[in-house]
Amino acid sequence: MADYYEVLGVERSASAEEIKKAYRRMSRKYHPDIAGPEFEDKFKEVNTAYEVLSDPDKKRMYDSGVDPNDPNGGAGFSGFPGGGFGGMGDIFDMFTGGAFSGGSGRGPVPRTQPGRDSLASATVDLRTVVFGGTTQIKVSTFGLCPDCQGSGAQSGSQPVTCPDCHGQGYMQKVVRTMLGQMMTTAPCERCEGHGTIIEKPCPGCMGHGRVRVTRTVGVNVPAGIKDDTRLRLAGQGEVGEGGGAAGDLYVDVHVRPDREFARDGDDLHCWVRVPMSWAVLGHDLDIETFDGKRSVSVPAGCQPEETVTLEGLGVGRLRQQGERGDLIAHILVEIPTKLSDEERGLIERFAASHDADARHSSQATKPAASRAGARKGFFSKLKDALS
């Protein structure tokens, strides 16, 4: 008997929420659309494990040593464990398939089954995150068969009642057990438990009611979405067997790095490189933003890594329509590395006037500058030095 807890990577004491989280993690890891078609069997194993462990009744049966997905009622134990069963009825059900306790009234398995969820990914640019928008992705999954519209039968034909089980979907037979001869039930082999047979299967889907298709899906990306966010698109997943209702499509959204701006929460950051003279004397310049060109005023006496904030030009705030963060421009001051003789002379005159008594110092923290007084003295001396 397969160890479903090991398949999902959880302890036997795991809560329902922990099992659900583990399933999401494992299904994402092994989904054929993401990991590759070679992981399809592993993905099915993960789904089977979750199907059992997420159903209280099936989980209780599994914890008792019986795999509810084993058509033969196989048990992973020898003898009768002391606390594993609620009573003798459970033991008889295990060996008789429920016939002893009235379980034989189960009925045929519907051909129409709900579809599974699908997983895909989308990569968007930072502009889409700032304003919100729609991106198109291609999804390869099961869709409704266009020839039979999900019935599985050729046009003009219908499934007929199974002559072996007479529409019941199961067969009864006598088996020899350790408790003697007993009546057991099992799915009808001829109709596979459906109670009906498709004598003329649809050639397009071979009787399954669905076919593999590749389609384009529009994904609405809300403003302010974070990187690696998973969105749910209801009813956009796989169409089920027999044309059953489609599952959901989950889309993992990744944000492509931008060359001009970096995101920090709802704020955008950029670094503007300016010459030393602009930082000393002040300067107005235009920068490109997601809202078009905007003016940035570099203040006179601007220090390296000083910032200028443009309010309301950042990322749209999630679930707060119309509100946005700020755009913060970091000023990078370029120090010239090559000077002409005339330029060097001017700088030396300035240094003699302004830095004659300068002393270097070092400390563990960045000092808080007294900007107003420093600027006044700096500019008066610069004016004198260059006049």
Structure tokens at 77: 């134990």
Q: Name 87's bridge partners.
A: none
CA dihedral angle for residue 54, residue 58, residue 59, residue 65, rounded to 10 degrees: -150
Confirm or deny that 188 is annotated as ligand binding: yes
Of the candidates 88, 62, 90, 86, the residue with the CA atom closest to the CA atom of residue 76: 62
Length of the chain: 387
Total Cβ atoms within 10 A of residue 324 = 22
Distance, in Å, from the CA atom of 260 to the CA atom of 294, rounded to the nearest integer, reads 14
Confirm or deny that 191 is annotated as ligand binding: yes
If residue 22 lies in a helix (H) or strand (E), which one and from where to where? Answer: helix 16-30
Structure tokens at 92: 């008889």
For helices 371-386 and 341-354, give the axis angle rounded to 10 degrees: 130
CA distance readout (Å), 21 to 5, 18, 54, 126: 13, 5, 11, 29
Confirm or deny that 302 is annotated as ligand binding: no
Structure tokens at 366: 């960045």
Distance, in Å, from the CA atom of 334 to the CA atom of 133, rounded to the nearest integer, reads 38
Known binding site: residues? Answer: 145, 148, 162, 165, 188, 191, 202, 205
Known binding site for Zn(2+): residues? Answer: 145, 148, 162, 165, 188, 191, 202, 205
